[in-house]
Structure formats: structure tokens, C-alpha cells
Amino acid sequence: MSETHPDLLQLRQSIDNIDAALIHLLAERFKATQSVGELKARIRMPPADPAREERQITRLRDLADESGLDPVFAEKFLNFVIAEVIHHHERIAGETTGTES
């Protein structure tokens, strides 16, 4: 077995640190969206907000482009996150109204 090149080890450590930061940021984001879902359920707002979602997609595509990240990838990622948030909001709304899905 050959030793791993030190530069490769350093790059991998950087990637590991970035991955950890992404997980922590996603956890914080979902804590915030959990609060949004609870508020929406209390004030009887629908779980999804298509206009807000479209604005976010446009904003994040622009940010991705400015950052050198593929906007199509950024949109796919955000769509995945949004779908999960809506699912959480639907569950919260169901718990609030007693019609859990």
C-alpha cells in the first residue's frame, strides 16, 4: 500500500471541513424552517409558498453564477431542500390540525 501524497491529504482535510460546515449550516437552516412551519400552521398559512420559492431559486441561481458554481446544480439542490421543507411543513400543519399525513 502506498502512502497518500501530503498535498492530497491536505486537500481532503479541506473537503472534510467544508462538508462538516455544510452539514452544520443545513441543520441551522432546517431549525429556522421548522420555526417557519410552526408559525405557518398557527396562522393557517399553506405549507408551500410558490412565489417565495421561485424568488429563492432565482436569487440562488444568481449567487451560484457569481460564485462560479453551476446554477443548474444549485437549483437542483435548492429544489431538493425546498421539497423537504414543504414535507416538514405539511407534517407540522397536520399535527396542528389533527390530520397528520
Residue 41 has a CB neighbour count (10 Å cut-off) of 19
Query: CA 89, CA 83: separation in Å to the nearest integer?
Result: 10
Share of the chain above pLDDT 90, in %: 90
In this prediction, residue 2 has a pLDDT band, given cuts at 50, 70 and 90, of confident
Q: Up-side HSE of residue 19: CA atoms within 13 Å toward CB?
A: 6
In this prediction, residue 39 has a pLDDT band, given cuts at 50, 70 and 90, of very high
Contacts for 51 with CB less than 8 Å, ≥ 6 apart: none
**In 3-state terms, what secondary structure has residue 4?**
coil
Is the pLDDT confidence value at 69 over 90? yes
